[in-house]
Structures are given as structure tokens and as C-alpha cells.
Structure 1
Amino acid sequence: MKRLRKLFLTLGFAAAASLPVLAPAAGATIETQAEEAFLVDFDTGAVLLNKNGDQRMPPSSMSKMMTAYMVFESLDSGRLSLDDKLTVSEKAWRKGGSKMFVEVGNQVRVEDLLRGVIIQSGNDACIVLAEGLAGSEEAFAEQMTARAQEMGLTGSNFVNATGWPDDNHYVTARDLATLARRIIVDHPEHYHYYSEKEFTWADIRQGNRNPLLYRNIGADGLKTGHTEAAGYGLTASAAQNGRRLILVVNGLPSVQARADESERLMSWGFREFNNYALFKSGDTVDEAAVWLGAEDTVPLVVADDLTVTLPRSDRNGMQVSVVYDSPIPAPIPAGQEIAKLRVSWPGGVPVEVPLQAGEDVEQLGPLGRIAASIKFLLLGSP
């Protein structure tokens, strides 16, 4: 028999837990002039805003985040070091658009090239790194796409290291948000480059183009982009009061619009939503009846910390319930998934996570099973 048991919880404003619960936190809405906009909670994975988030779009220089990610992996694996020097080819030197202004034939430290990519958005620096790691920019782009697919960036394809316009070079806003999160999680020791506000090379000082770094909203990354086809875009991350959001916008009409709209959407996300810690890993949520077991009940526990993101206005309407087939037949090994915890709120998509048996429950012996069956026939309960 399917059983649903509602739980009544007193919720505090605890810090966000580590388990991503990938579900929309619908309820609050906001309009935006961006062609594409995607706002997600870093810790829970809850999508706060999704406008054309799965639509292919030109990433322009925001695709340089993937270039940097590939370099970060090479650094962490020991294949490359920050002090290694790479040679500037004529192709890199001649490349147009935004530049670090490296000179053909020079050897440049990897760390300087990284700052040239991240802070100055240098197309030339991207090509130097690509050629140094893969032999050619084209080969590096193939590696970028393959790695992106492995990471779950299924809506992305790269044909160059710079974001230079090409019909076959595209991403989605969702993929950029996922990539931003992977940079922060997988390479925290390198993330600081994204918050540096300026870098000087060849006596040319250039400022970081990320407008949110200069506004008081807790921003510390990541990357802008602009082409005629794509408009003005930004992938950004900001943290306030222990909570982090990731925002992707694209298709905005101007530098000013990119700055103002990004700040407005990020501020809205922090203001309208909050994270609510429900259970810690190993917490017992409920007890479930057992059929023909050495114990009458088995504790139902959560395997990981559980935090949900929802509109602040819907907090009082949140319902938490446990669903399982009752009674649960023994034997039951500890760790077996035997129930689900469901969290719902008005206008939101319910979040469901599995509940596990908190301990082993052995099956009764033959005589015990006979006694339990007789009891069930007489009393109608296990």
C-alpha cells in the first residue's frame, strides 16, 4: 500500500548545504530584455530564471571560459606549470579583436597568458595557449568540444579557442552556467584570476570588462562577451551572506545595458529567493513499518545534506512528505533506497530525493513469520 506521510518542520535560515537539487524554483518571475538569460543557485542547482536557456547562441568571448578550463586541467595534472613559457606564433600575433598584445616569436609565461585571456580577453593569448597544448587552434577546439561533452555541456560546440564568430561555434546559457560552476568547484585555486580588475602587458594596462566587479553585489567572476551577431553578454557569479548565484545573459544591446541588467537580475535573485536547510546527511526523517522483520520499523534517512531553494514568499506554503510502499518487506539492508522525500510549495516543481534504510532489518525465522502472519490475519496490521 502506497503511504504518504506529511512532516511538519521548523525551518531555520541555515547556510546552503552541499547537495545540488536540480529543480526549478518557480514562483517568482521577472522580465528581461536579454535574448537569453539563465540564473541558477550555486549550491542547490535550482533554476531561478530561464529565458531561452537551452537555445543555441554565439558565446563570443564567454567561450574563453572553456579555453581557460582546459588550461586549468593541464596545470592541475602537472602537464603544464604557471612558469612554463609558450612561443607566440604569427597566427596568434596577427589575430584581430581584443588583444593582450604579445609579440611574434616571444616566449610568454602561462600565468601571464591566462591573465591575458581572463582579464584582457586576449584572442592572441588564447591562440598561444591552444597551440602550446594541442599543436593547433583547430585541434585544441576539438579537445574543447570533447571535454565539454564529457562535462554534460550537450548544447555546445567549439571550433576555435577565442569565440571568434562562426556558425558552428555555439553554446547555450545553461551550458555556460554549468561551466562557470565547474570552474569554481574544480579549480578553486585558479578562480581568483576572474576577480582581478586589471592586468598590464607590454606597458598596456587593461581593465577587466566584467561590470559587476565594480558594483557592490559580491561579484568575483567570470567573463564578458560581445560580437555583432551575439550582442553583449556576461557570465557572472556573485556571493552574498554565504549564498552564491551564477548568471548568464546574452543578446543585450549595449555595454550599459549589460551592466545594468546583470546587476538587476543578480540582485533580484538574492532578494526574492533563499536556501532552506532541511536535513543533514544521516538524519532520520521518519520510521517505516516493516513486514516480517526482526524489527517492527526501520528508520528512513537522507544520504546527503538536503537544502532547497524557493521564493521567500512561498516559505510558509512549503510541504514536506515521505512516500513509500507500506509495509516494507524484510530483509532490508542498510543503505537500500526504500522511500522518497518530497518537498513542494505553491507554484513550484516538487523536489524528490531518495530515502535509505538507516539500519539492517533481518527477516524473522519460520516461526516468527507464522506468528506475524496470524497477527496480520487477526488484527489487520503487520
Structure 2
Amino acid sequence: MSRGRVVIRNLIRQVAKRVRHSAAAIGVVVVAGVVLAQPGEAQARYAALVMDADTGTVLYAANADTRNYPASLTKMMTLYMTFEALDQGRLTLHQRLPVSRRAQGMAPSKLYLHAGETISVQNAVLALVTKSANDAAVVLAEALGGAEWKFARMMTERARALGMKRTTFRNASGLPNRHQLSTARDMATLSRALIYDFPEYYHYFSTTRFSYNGRAYGNHNNLLEEYRGTDGIKTGYIRASGFNLAASVVRQGRRLIAVVFGGRTARSRDQHIMALLDKGFAKARQLRTIPVVAPPPRKPVQILRTASKADEVKVAAAGSGVVPVPPARTGIQQADRTALRDKVARVVDGLPVPGYGRPEEVQVAARETSNAEGRYAVQVGAYRDAAPAHVAAVRAGNAVPQILGTSEVSVSRIRGDQGPLYRARLTGLDRTDAERACRALVAHGTDCLVIQPRGGVEVAFNAK
């Protein structure tokens, strides 16, 4: 009997040895002490991206445009839609929402809500951020879309409006659906939109602990307590996706967003994303902060003054190779405003607008845009990408919230033979407030144009 055990033990050792050799043959890569599968085989789902949040500059990318399963990163869009509804007054934080039988029947992770009871919007938000509760996600989806499948369509439409070109949503939670796909780049775009579009709600993502009905739930995002400067965003996991994470970190006034898809374990994912962020901050320190990555031969475009009723906008070439924007902020400012937001990021396209073939002049058609409700607007720059135009407009509103607190961000595009220009505007002002805002922005070092209700430029204010 004893001899038989020895034989069995030896057989087990031989099998284990062969398994170890097979694992080595498959090939793994060790990144900063973290074992991640090579992008290939079943782990083709691995993807990562690190981005400078202020400028949109990509500091690292691997399979960033490969479509993978987002899992509970999906809930970031559910929360984006919820914050938008709060911002527009369609929901309130203390409003109580009914729990349906469908919500009750959701698979874990969940709060185990019961059909017929209610939950406040704020508690539902916190449940998504911390517990990643699928039942709470359905409650929000049904409140905003009537049915979860209708809400998923709304989510996909909003994704397209935000520039998430390779994302399709089929539910509000991220539970398995083979048609629900996204990319690391798109999830970084969504993270950035949450940060800049809803600074008054983004702080929920930094919640480390949430109590509901006598039970305490911790946040699955371990970086909040393990990696200095982390202030959000969201984790995700289903078997088909592996361990996903979108993280936002602020250090010395610089914010980076990192996204990882397909970690083998939560721990290896966390270690890997921290290593990527370390390298990202090191690389960012070596780069000059710029608003947009432009092709080297291009000259910057800075609006200086106006010309005539034909709405000719004079621009001048400078020597830095990029389009100027206001200085970077040292983090997200909690401005006391309620509606400074890109409620609908409308990009005007397909209009007969002349190009900007020469660097000294841009022709803008007076009929291209009219300001909201026939009111004045201010313009704080023209950019070669929509994202920094949006950031510049939000920054301008943050700089003078006492004047621009009820204005709306508007980004419109002028098409030309050298590519588009995106105009950063804040709309919905009267003439007096528009001029006051421009004077205040000039004091902050930002050039500013007062835009008439019919789209014409009335006066230019130039920072010295």
C-alpha cells in the first residue's frame, strides 16, 4: 500500500512538471512583476491605454481599438446618462425609483433589491460605483429609458455623440452579451467625459465605502487606497472579459486616465495598471503640455480679431506647432454652477463652409450656427480636435462661473481642405454678460470673441 502511494505521488509530480513546461511554451510576459498573457490566444482580450486627460495625448496603447467585452465598465455610461438626467432636472438625487421584477432578478453582483420597493437615485449611483450592483443599474435604466433595452439604445447613441465609435451597448449593467463590446480607447474617452462633463457628480467615483440597509459595501477599485492620487473610476469583470479597470489619477496638477482590459486576476490587473501609470507620469513629465497632437508641418491657429459682416475671422500663425489653449488646471474645480455642460455635443457638419487653405484667414459662414434661443455666446478658441475644444470651453466656464454659470458648452466644426477646426463656445448669454465674460477671461490670459445671436463675431478681446 505504501509502495502504491509512492508510485502515485511520482506520477503526480511528472504530470505537474509537464503542465509547468506547457505553460512556459504558451508564453507569458512579466510586466513590472505582474504576469499577463501575451495578446494572443484566449487573452486576445488584453488591451490597455494611458492618456493625459487634459490634452488627450495618448502615452501608451496596446490593442487600444480592439473590441472587447466591457463588463461592468458599462456602468460608467449608465452613470453618465444618470448624471445628465440630474443635470437637466429629469431626476433628483433624493428621488425614489421603483424596483421592478426584472431588476430583482438580475444576477450578482447586486444589492438584492425586492420588486415593489424603492431606492433613491443617490443610493443607486453609489451602489453602481462601489458594489457594482446590477439590480440598481436596471432600476436607473428603467427610470430613464422605460425598458432596459431601450435605455441600451440610448447609451449607444450617447456613446457615438461622445466619439466612442467602436462601442455598442446591449444592457445597463455589463452582464454577458456577445454584442456588447467596447475598446480601451472608447472607455478612456468615456472616463474623460465623466470627469469634465460632470465635475459635480464625478466625486461619487472616489467613494470607498457605501452602506445600505445595514450592510456596508467596499469599492472594488483598489487603487483608491493603494495608488496615490487615484480618484476613480470603475472596475469590471465577467469570465469572457477578464478583469477590467478604468482609473483616473491626479499628481502634481496632471491627470492621467488608464484603462486595462483582460487582466487574469484583479491583483495582476491592478499591478499592471499601476506600472503603466508610473511609466505614463514619467513620460508625461518629459513632454510639453499641448492641447492636441497635430501633424508636425501644421502651424497653430489662434483667433485674434474679426473683420466684417461676412464673419471673416483673422487668424495668425505662431511657431509652436500646436493650437494654444488656456493653462492646465490643477485638478477638477467644483464650480458653483448647475448647467455648464455639454448637454448635447452637436458638431455642425455638411454645411457649405469655405476651407482654411491659408494660415492667415478663416472664412466662417454667418448662417452656420445660431446661438441657443437667439442669444449671445463667447468663443475661447479654435482647435484641430473636438475634445480639447470641449475642455477649453469647460475651463473657461470654470474660470468665471459667476458669469458663465448658466451658459452651455457648444463645440461646432468648420470643414476645410486641410481638415476641420472645432470652435469652443459658451452659449445662452445676453450681450452684457458675453462682454463681461470676455473681459474676465482676458484677465485669466484667454483670448475671447463675443458672438452675435445670428453667429456673427461682434468684438474680439485679446489677452496680452
**TM-score interval for Structure 1 and Structure 2 normalised by the shorter chain:** 0.5 to 0.7
Answer whether contact 2:227 2:274 (CA < 8 A) is retained. no
With the length of structure 1 as denominator, give the TM-score of the two structures.
0.67
Cα 1:247–1:277, aligned 2, differ >3 Å: closer, same or farther? Answer: closer
**How far does the alpha carbon of each residue in 1:31-67 deviate from its partner, in whole angstroms, 9 at most, with x for none?**
9837111111111211111110000000000110000
Distance in 2, Cα, partners of 1:86 & 1:284:
49
In the other structure, the counterpart of 1:18 is none
- Is it true that 1:122 corresponds to 2:139 in the alignment? no
In the other structure, the counterpart of 2:144 is 133
Unaligned runs of 5+ in 1: 1-29, 286-297, 309-324, 342-351, 359-382
Over aligned residue pairs, what C-alpha RMSD do you find?
3.1
Distance in 2, Cα, partners of 1:93 & 1:152:
33
- Is it true that 1:305 corresponds to 2:316 in the alignment? no
> Which amino acid counterpart does residue 300 of structure 1 have in structure 2?
A
- Is it true that 1:229 corresponds to 2:240 in the alignment? yes
- Is it true that 1:169 corresponds to 2:169 in the alignment? no
Answer whether contact 2:187 2:246 (CA < 8 A) is retained. yes
- Is it true that 1:184 corresponds to 2:195 in the alignment? yes
- The structural deviation recorded for 1:91 is 1.0
Structure 1 residue ranges (4+ consecutive) displaced by more than 6 angstroms after TM superposition: none
With the length of structure 2 as denominator, give the TM-score of the two structures.
0.55
- The structural deviation recorded for 1:103 is 2.3
SS in 2 for 1:268: helix
5 Å-filtered alignment, 1:62-141, equals 62-141=73-152
- The structural deviation recorded for 1:305 is 2.4
Answer whether contact 1:37 1:53 (CA < 8 A) is retained. yes
> Which amino acid counterpart does residue 271 of structure 1 have in structure 2?
A
- The structural deviation recorded for 1:278 is 7.2
- The structural deviation recorded for 1:156 is 0.3
- The structural deviation recorded for 1:230 is 0.4
Distance in 1, Cα, partners of 2:227 & 2:324:
34
Answer whether contact 2:301 2:323 (CA < 8 A) is retained. no
SS in 2 for 1:190: helix
Cα 1:61–1:278, aligned 2, differ >3 Å: closer, same or farther? Answer: closer
Unaligned runs of 5+ in 2: 1-30, 38-45, 292-299, 303-314, 329-356, 365-382, 385-418, 422-446, 448-464
- The structural deviation recorded for 1:107 is 1.3
SS in 1 for 2:178: coil
SS in 2 for 1:235: strand
- Is it true that 1:269 corresponds to 2:286 in the alignment? no
Query: In percent, how many aligned pairs have the same letter?
Result: 38
- The structural deviation recorded for 1:276 is 1.9
Size of the aligned set, in residue pairs, is 279
Answer whether contact 2:59 2:283 (CA < 8 A) is retained. no
Cα 1:284–1:132, aligned 2, differ >3 Å: closer, same or farther? Answer: closer
Answer whether contact 1:277 1:306 (CA < 8 A) is retained. no
In the other structure, the counterpart of 2:159 is 148
In the other structure, the counterpart of 2:226 is 215
- The structural deviation recorded for 1:303 is 5.6
Distance in 1, Cα, partners of 2:266 & 2:50:
20
- The structural deviation recorded for 1:134 is 1.1
Answer whether contact 1:176 1:248 (CA < 8 A) is retained. yes
In the other structure, the counterpart of 2:65 is 54
Cα 1:103–1:43, aligned 2, differ >3 Å: closer, same or farther? Answer: same
> Which amino acid counterpart does residue 196 of structure 1 have in structure 2?
T
- The structural deviation recorded for 1:131 is 0.6
Cα 1:278–1:60, aligned 2, differ >3 Å: closer, same or farther? Answer: closer
Distance in 1, Cα, partners of 2:159 & 2:113:
28
Cα 1:200–1:284, aligned 2, differ >3 Å: closer, same or farther? Answer: closer
Answer whether contact 2:110 2:134 (CA < 8 A) is retained. yes
SS in 2 for 1:161: coil
In the other structure, the counterpart of 1:252 is 263
Distance in 2, Cα, partners of 1:79 & 1:192:
20
- The structural deviation recorded for 1:147 is 1.0
In the other structure, the counterpart of 1:38 is 49
Distance in 2, Cα, partners of 1:265 & 1:303:
28
Answer whether contact 2:167 2:182 (CA < 8 A) is retained. yes
